[in-house]
Structure 1
Amino acid sequence: MIQQEAVVDEDWEYRRLQLPPGVSRRAAATQLSIHAEFAGWELSTVRLYSDGSRRVWLRRKRRPAEVGYLAS
């Protein structure tokens, strides 16, 4: 699995993952579940290519401290 740097916009943070052709659907689902459960990511987009590789975009809501709000 190849992870790319996170892309941040105003409200969301995105991360791209590239899954190689040999990864089964079950293994891919397990990896994505781990990202969701332990890091707070949710699935945004999945693209399956003809060679069997997958490009996955995950997203998560930015936390108030990251957006620039002051904690009171």
Structure 2
Amino acid sequence: MTGGRPEGTIGRVEAVAGDYEFAPLRIPPGTSRSAAATMLSLQADTGGWELARLQLHADGTCKVILRRRARLSYLPKPHI
């Protein structure tokens, strides 16, 4: 683990260029595809988040970047 954050947690939500805000998420190795898909679909349904980028690392960790329009900031932040 790097970055000083437990795996499976959401990082700091950042607004970039005023159009979108981004939230990084790391999914730990060993998480099934269906569990990861369920987590991401819940974020989309409840918080207006969409998938911006997904990186699969050699150790099995998955780095996900979620985004949503900045005007939707009244919606809940992602939680896992």
TM-score category of the 2 structures, normalised to the smaller one: 0.7 to 0.9
Aligned with 1:2: secondary structure? Answer: coil
TM-score, length-scaled by structure 1: 0.85
Rg larger for = 1
Q: 1:49 to 1:11 in 2, by over 3 A?
A: same
Structure 2: 5+ residue stretches without partners:
1-7, 75-80
2:22 counterpart of 1:18: no
Letter of the 1:29 partner, please give it.
A
Task: State the Cα RMSD in Å.
Answer: 1.7
Structure 1: 5+ residue stretches without partners:
67-72
**1:5 maps to which residue?**
12
Letter of the 1:40 partner, please give it.
G
| % identical aligned pairs | 41
Q: Larger strand proportion, structure 1 or 2?
A: 1
